[in-house]
Structure 1
Amino acid sequence: MTMRLKQHIMAALAFVLVCAGGAYAQQEWRFTLWDVAAEQEQSIADAVPDLALARIVYVGESHDQLSHHLGQLEVIRALRRAGHDIAVGLEMFERREQESLDAWLAGDMDERAFMSVFRRNWGDMWPLYRAIFVYCRDESIPMVGLNVPRSVTRKVAREGFESLTQEEIGMLPPIACNVTPQYEAFLRRVVGAHGRDESEFRRFCEAQLVWDTAMAVHALEYLENHPATSMVVLTGAVHAWRPAMPLQVWRQKPSTAQRIILPRIEGRLDIGAVDTEDCDYLMFGVEE
């Protein structure tokens, strides 16, 4: 394939994705929350006073589920409409990509250029996330990259934390990687061993712990520098469970108030299947 043909194909793909993103944003959904402690359903607006007590509100997702992303947007909108000063923390962006995020938010990067940045960080999933990024840009809501280079977590998953070079360790915030029996049990419950042998599963746990801990450190650093701001963290559901990133935040700074919203996934994340040791709310989305 010639370079010119490849450029034409990429330009056409960009146009299709932008159009698809606009169509997604126009779909109508109704979202409610299930309060796990109170065992009752309520609107997102009714939950805002409780959510606003937290410095960090996690809204978990399955990355390929449109409804989860539209639900995340509704939480962001509800807090914003209520007048709260918020930032949005992103698993989807590496910390070192913050300059590109800032350029998007400032209007200094058009959508086609930003799509290339998004693809570099998170693959070809822009249409699913587009409405969130456009809303934050239009409402001047800061967006914060929380992730570490994927090459590092991949290497940990393949070879273990001890395999990292000094250069690779330098890409991480100062963290330890001590997988406790409790953390390992949590991951077995949530994702299972998936056919891995014990040593492979242990390396998987180390990679997840590096991920959770680094994102916790990066979120707390931002909040330390912005004391009047709370953060809505958008991340895969496995990182949003209380024993994952929220526990690492607690270990770094126990006084940090947190609230956890996980998406309802029938048969897995459902009423009766989780308790307050897992999350504070389940989100239900119905297309109308």
Structure 2
Amino acid sequence: MLADLAQADVVLFGEQHNDPLAHWLELQVAKDLQRLKGPGKLVLGMEMFERDVQPLVAQFTAGTLPDSAFERQARPWPNYGTDYRPLLQFAQAHGIPVVGTNAPRPFAQQVARGSLTALDKLPAADRALLAPLPLKVDYELPGYKNMAAMFGGGGNSPHDGGAQTIIQAQALKDATMAYFIRTSRQPGQTLLHLNGSYHSDHHDGIVAYLRQGAPTLKVRTISVATQAQLDRLDKDNINVADYVVVIPEDMNKTY
């Protein structure tokens, strides 16, 4: 697996955000890719940091911003200290660039409450924090159709009013992450990206937008799944990613 990942342009590690074993594995994959690729050939991308705090992420990984100030200003997730700080410290120690890729939450909330047209009048400085607009949304992607089934208020169509804006908000995040993944690596580099598994499972979401913007990129996906039995993959987890990491259902959670 590692040899294959080291040959990829982009590796999407689809995690369960509260799974400590997944976070440990992410750190080990980063260490192994750094060893296999060599200096200057690995970039780390993270859903957990939004584009407007990227200057703080860069300062922290460069060692010019103390951890205490970073935690106050960069809006890290509540489980940052246990689950993500070790990875950032590894990047800091080895000069690995770290890229926050996610769309700022207020913009996604505007879309969820209205529609993508809420972004039409954003000033240039705000638009620079997002994927290029206007955004093309493929409502037929299986992941988005599943969202329609969950949020459609009884309807299963991704074009149902309530579901459509939620899908558009998700697409804004997926497209923005894909755009900054694509623009933050140089030829020969591998970008290891951490995201919730629902953003990349079944090669949907981020993967679809990567293919839309750069169809020749070599992308590999990892998905962390939980199962009661570990001797074989559950039906729902077959083909969910290029590599599936199965965690026991009773594994401790960080929250």
> TM-score scaled by structure 2?
0.83
Residues 151 and 162 in structure 2, CA contact (< 8 A), matched pair in contact too: no
Aligned with 2:237 (options 262, 274, 277)? 274
For the pair 1:117 / 2:73, whether they are aligned, the reply is yes
Kindly provide the CA deviation profile for residues 189-248 of structure 1, in whole angstroms up to 9, marking residues without a partner as x.
Answer: 37851464631111111011111111111111112xx22311000011111221110111
Query: 1:51 is matched with which residue?
Result: 5
Q: Say which SS state the counterpart of residue 93 (structure 1) adopts.
A: strand
For the pair 1:200 / 2:200, whether they are aligned, the reply is no
Query: 1:237 is matched with which residue?
Result: 197
Displacement of 1:154 = 1.0
Aligned with 1:173 (options 122, 128, 131)? 131
What is the letter of the counterpart of residue 186 of structure 1? G
Q: 1:48/1:145 Cα in 2 relative to 1: closer, same or farther (>3 Å)?
A: same
**Distance in 1 of aligned mates of 2:146 and 2:117:** 25
Residues 175 and 213 in structure 1, CA contact (< 8 A), matched pair in contact too: no
Aligned with 1:133 (options 88, 91, 97)? 88
Q: 1:134/1:285 Cα in 2 relative to 1: closer, same or farther (>3 Å)?
A: farther
CA RMSD between the two structures: 2.4
| Residue pairs, 1:177-188, within 5 angstroms | 177-183=135-141, 185-188=142-145
For the pair 1:251 / 2:212, whether they are aligned, the reply is yes
**Distance in 1 of aligned mates of 2:187 and 2:42:** 11
Displacement of 1:121 = 4.6
Q: Say which SS state the counterpart of residue 231 (structure 1) adopts.
A: strand
Q: 1:126/1:159 Cα in 2 relative to 1: closer, same or farther (>3 Å)?
A: farther
Displacement of 1:86 = 0.7
What is the letter of the counterpart of residue 180 of structure 1? D
The structure that has the greater radius of gyration is: 1
**Distance in 2 of aligned mates of 1:218 and 1:131:** 23
Query: Percent of counterpart pairs with the same letter?
Result: 24
Residues 153 and 210 in structure 1, CA contact (< 8 A), matched pair in contact too: yes
The alignment of Structure 1 onto Structure 2 pairs a total of residues equal to 235
Displacement of 1:173 = 3.0
> TM-score scaled by structure 1?
0.74
Residues 7 and 190 in structure 2, CA contact (< 8 A), matched pair in contact too: no
Displacement of 1:57 = 0.3
Q: Say which SS state the counterpart of residue 264 (structure 1) adopts.
A: strand
Q: Say which SS state the counterpart of residue 107 (structure 1) adopts.
A: coil
- Segments of structure 1 that go 5 or more residues without pairing to the other structure are 1-46
| Residue pairs, 1:20-99, within 5 angstroms | 47-84=1-38, 85-99=41-55
Residues 92 and 122 in structure 1, CA contact (< 8 A), matched pair in contact too: yes
For the pair 1:147 / 2:102, whether they are aligned, the reply is yes
Kindly provide the CA deviation profile for residues 24-54 of structure 1, in whole angstroms up to 9, marking residues without a partner as x.
Answer: xxxxxxxxxxxxxxxxxxxxxxx11111121
Residues 95 and 148 in structure 1, CA contact (< 8 A), matched pair in contact too: yes
| Residue pairs, 1:11-26, within 5 angstroms | none
Residues 71 and 283 in structure 1, CA contact (< 8 A), matched pair in contact too: no
- Segments of structure 2 that go 5 or more residues without pairing to the other structure are 155-159
**Distance in 1 of aligned mates of 2:147 and 2:166:** 13
